[in-house]
């Protein structure tokens, strides 16, 4: 039998024909599938571009806010973020912000459709924020689309923060906004300190910010530490908030008694603080313990040691271009090594009201009154057997909002023990 006859006989065999057919179909399907996969990879590589932004990056919250604005009208899968806004009158309004939830969404920007994939890890490590990322995918190869989008997101974030002072706090190993910032910027003259004190601190901070080259040329670490000390209610934290508003800076608050804080984590957080931000360590005396005959340490549930704190402030690994403020109600409780020059470069007492402060605060609450009556008010306060703080005065005036005479006649309400100094 010749080869031709063999082939014809095999073709006529129903079993062989069926097997060859199945094999051929399977082989064709496999080749097609591989071809589609390869073609898809080739197409995505040369005809599409992707951008991944994680919540470890500063721009993540800008992008998320921008996506919320552009996608909320075109998706049915949404989440909610609730915020509370306080008006000038003190009334609190609740606002609901609908944002795209985890999943896929589609938005259009500059004539191009962009697929948005928002992902979130289910589990988080300790108190760290869950890992989140946003992946943007669009047709084309022009990366300027993403540059323009990031610029638009940044401008939206800047516009949203106009007139407000952003507050950041530590979460895990990240600095994150403390909720939706609705705190208006305070003007520096809204906090009345002892005459000339606010101007002196502001001038020192501005001189530091404006002269980095001076430090670099002389090999001096470019950082500056401030300590405000004095009784509670005298305006230490209020002044720092107003100073941040004056400088157009944010505030990054650190809690040394955080259960997850350690020496290495403290050093890391200081080294990775938000740019153009005042780092604030409030009530440092409550965190640092000094006991006779014992090593100084940081109290609380955290694992920060005293040496860890001092090294973070001015050690070899401490960060530069940093403005750090500490506050304390009890200066005498602080170890001199903690507040020596290099760790604290500028100390200022923020104490009880002087006669000048009393008059200025009186006129702020009662601008229609004369300076003579303000002087009389200060003289009457001076006769009291106690010292007065701005917080006490504010509370007193709030009980007599539109009646300066009543505020003047009821000064006995301000009497407190001198032992509270």
Rounded to whole angstroms, the Cα distance separating 129 from 121 reads: 10
Start-to-end CA span in the chain (Å): 120
Please choose, from the candidates 239, 235, 250, the residue with its C-alpha nearest in 3D space to the C-alpha of residue 354. Answer: 235
Which residue segments constitute the domains of the chain, with CATH numbers given? Answer: 49-160 (no CATH), 188-349 (3.40.50.300), 355-420 (no CATH)
The length of the chain, given as a count of residues:
421
At a CB cut-off of 8 Å and minimum separation 6, what does 52 contact? 133, 134, 135, 136
Give the model's pLDDT for residue 358. 95
As a whole number of angstroms, the distance between CA 104 and CA 333 comes to: 56
CA distance 202 to 24: 83
User: What's the pLDDT at 140?
Assistant: 79
Give the pLDDT of residue 205: 97
Stretch (H or E) spanning 281: strand 277-281
pLDDT of res. 159? 77
3-state SS of 2-48? Answer: CHHHHHHHHHHCHHHHHHHHHHHHHHHHHHHHHHHHHHHHHHHHHHE
Tens of pLDDT, residue by residue over 178-212, are: 765 456 788 898 999 999 999 999 999 999 999 99
* Res 295: pLDDT: 41
Contact 352, 188 (CB under 8 A): no
Q: Which residue bears the tokens 């008006």?
A: 87
**Per-residue confidence (pLDDT) for residue 293, from 0 to 100:** 37
Per DSSP, the three-state class of 97 is: strand
pLDDT at 88: 43
The pLDDT value recorded for residue 196 is 95
Chain-centre distance of CA 89, in angstroms?
26
Cα–Cα distances (Å) from 255 to 104, 274, 275, 279, 288, in that order, read 37, 16, 19, 11, 12
- Residue 50: CB atoms within 10 Å: 13
- List, in order, residues 6 or more apart from 48 with CB less than 8 Å away: 137, 138, 139, 140
CA torsion angle for 116, 117, 118, 120 (degrees, to 10)?
-170
For position 236, what pLDDT does the model report?
A: 96
Q: Is the dihedral of CA 20, 25, 30, 32 positive or negative?
A: positive
Check residue 4 and give its pLDDT. Answer: 59
Maximum distance among all Cα pairs of the chain, rounded to whole angstroms: 133
Q: Which residues of the chain have pLDDT under 50?
A: 86-91, 124-127, 181, 291-295, 301, 416-421
């Amino acid at each position: 039998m010749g080869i031709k006859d063999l082939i014809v006989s095999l073709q006529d065999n129903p079993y062989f024909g069926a097997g060859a057919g199945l094999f051929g179909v399977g082989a064709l399907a496999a080749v097609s599938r591989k071809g589609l996969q390869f073609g898809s990879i080739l197409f995505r590589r040369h005809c599409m571009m992707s951008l991944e932004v994680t919540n470890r990056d500063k721009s993540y919250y800008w992008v998320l806010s921008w996506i919320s604005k552009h996608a909320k009208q075109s998706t049915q899968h949404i989440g909610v973020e609730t915020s509370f806004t306080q008006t000038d009158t003190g009334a609190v309004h609740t606002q609901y912000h609908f944002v795209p939830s985890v999943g896929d969404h589609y938005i259009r920007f500059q004539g191009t459709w962009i697929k948005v994939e928002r992902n979130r890890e289910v589990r988080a490590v300790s108190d760290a924020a869950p890992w989140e990322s946003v992946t943007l995918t669009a047709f084309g190869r022009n990366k300027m689309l993403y540059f323009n989008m990031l610029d638009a997101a940044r401008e939206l974030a800047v516009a949203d923060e106009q007139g407000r002072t952003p507050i950041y706090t530590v979460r895990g190993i990240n600095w994150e906004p403390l909720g939706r910032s609705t705190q208006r910027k305070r003007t520096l003259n809204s906090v009345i300190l002892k005459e000339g004190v606010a101007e002196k601190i502001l001038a020192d901070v501005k001189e530091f910010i404006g002269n980095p080259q001076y430090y670099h040329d002389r090999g001096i670490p470019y950082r500056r530490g401030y300590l405000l000390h004095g009784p509670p209610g005298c305006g230490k934290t209020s002044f720092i908030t107003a100073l941040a508003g004056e400088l157009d800076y944010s505030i990054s608050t650190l809690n040394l008694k955080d259960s997850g804080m350690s020496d290495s984590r403290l050093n890391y957080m200081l080294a990775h603080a938000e740019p153009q931000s005042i780092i604030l360590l409030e009530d440092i005396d409550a965190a640092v313990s000094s006991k006779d005959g014992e090593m100084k340490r940081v109290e609380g549930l955290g694992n920060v040691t005293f040496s860890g704190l001092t090294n973070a402030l001015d050690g070899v690994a401490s960060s530069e271009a940093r403005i750090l403020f500490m506050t304390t109600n009890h200066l005498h409780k602080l170890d001199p090594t903690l507040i020596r020059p290099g760790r604290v470069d500028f100390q200022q007492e923020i104490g009880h009201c002087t006669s000048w402060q009393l008059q200025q605060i009186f006129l702020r609450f009662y601008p229609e009154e004369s300076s003579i009556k303000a002087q009389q008010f200060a003289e009457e306060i001076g006769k009291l057997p106690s010292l007065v703080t701005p917080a006490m005065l504010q509370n007193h005036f709030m009980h007599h909002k539109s009646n300066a005479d009543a505020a003047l006649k009821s000064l006995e309400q301000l009497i407190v023990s001198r032992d509270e100094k």
